[in-house]
Structure 1
Amino acid sequence: MGSLNGLPPAKKLAEYTQGCIGYFRINEYYRLLPQLDQWIRRSIRCCSIEQWSKPKTRYRNLIKLGFVYIKVALIKATRKGYYRLSKTFAVQQALNDTFLANLGLVSLKDLWIRFQEPR
């Protein structure tokens, strides 16, 4: 992935989310956070797949991430769009939440819960 102001995009996004959650921590409206968190993760998966635009590259990178099932071969030759492809089982398993957390992405739910705890 490229960088934005010297930081990887996931780390830059983590800065923004921490700032927003810190600013809006007074709000007790939790219901939208899991949906927003899901949307952010799916969008990052979509961007990753879009960078792997060629089927051969897509296949090679999913294998590097440790996914060796036949589903990867189906993803290689699919005609689905990037956003729809980001919801497939193989992509969600390969680019799972732990992988995204290692990139520096912070969960909105976890941040909100941490800020809501009494000090």
Structure 2
Amino acid sequence: MATYLRGWLGYFGDCQTPSVLLDLEAWLRRRLRSVVWKQWKRGRTGFRELRKRGVSKDLAAQTAGSPHGSLAHREIARSEPALPNAYFATLGLPAMVVRS
């Protein structure tokens, strides 16, 4: 995916509306967080992984036990950095807009 994004950014990256790229980047990271959450499959695994990433015990238990699954994971993204942008950067995902 990183190779595809680099090529796409090479073509579209120099645009006059960086806010569009910021919105696209935010959407992409939300989808990737959802995919990671789905890979954990079970609530028990989700709880363990969230705790490993520094989420409080109560919030991890509430999210892992939620029937909404990856939708509930969005609440964690707002309150505590379970899967921060730096995590995806270490995996090689490029930033869409270079922030000054």
TM-score per shorter chain, which class?
A: 0.7 to 0.9
* Counterpart pick for 2:73 among 83, 86, 92: 86
TM-score w.r.t. the length of structure 1 is 0.72
Deviations 1:26-83 (CA, angstroms, capped at 9, x unpaired): 532323111100000000000000011111000011112222341011012101142x
RMSD: 2.1
C-alpha distance 25-75 of structure 1, shift in aligned 2 (>3 A) = closer
Distance 1:67 1:26 in 2: 37
Aligned length: 99
User: Any gaps of 5 or more consecutive residues in structure 1?
Assistant: 1-12, 115-119
C-alpha distance 26-67 of structure 1, shift in aligned 2 (>3 A) = closer
C-alpha distance 28-21 of structure 1, shift in aligned 2 (>3 A) = same
Q: Please name the residue that 1:97 is paired with.
A: 85
| Larger-Rg structure | 1
Is residue 63–residue 69 contact of structure 2 (8 Å, CA) maintained in 1?
no
Please list, as runs of the form range in 1=range in 2, the aligned pairs for 1:1-119 lying within 5 A after superposition.
Answer: 13-82=1-70, 84-89=71-76, 93-110=81-98
Is residue 71–residue 90 contact of structure 1 (8 Å, CA) maintained in 2?
no
| Letter matched to residue 68 of structure 2 | K
Deviations 1:76-99 (CA, angstroms, capped at 9, x unpaired): 2101142x2231125861101111
User: Any gaps of 5 or more consecutive residues in structure 2?
Assistant: none
Identity %: 28
